[in-house]
Amino acid sequence: MDIILKNVKKKDFPVLKSLAKSLGFEIVKEEKPYNPEFVKEILDAAKEVREGKGIRITMEELKELCK
């Protein structure tokens, strides 16, 4: 049987980990990496903004776009 704990506070994790070990449970940490293409897109966009290739819009223009 698998048990997944979500929204565990950082301060509570050592206690849960210790309890699980004392009961003989296996602890597996799954990491879900981001899609590499998505990461590249975000990094490229940030680089373009730093290079001044972005555009500025006002809050009113943004609100119009979101309608």
Specify the amino acid at residue 3: I
Rounded to 5 degrees, φ, ψ at 53 are -90, 0
Instruction: With 0.75 as the threshold, say if the pTM is over it.
Output: no
Helix boundaries (H) for the chain: 13-22, 36-50, 59-65
User: Per-residue pLDDT averaged across 36-65, rounded?
Assistant: 93
Q: Return the pLDDT at 51.
A: 94
> Residue 11's pLDDT band (boundaries 50, 70, 90)?
very high
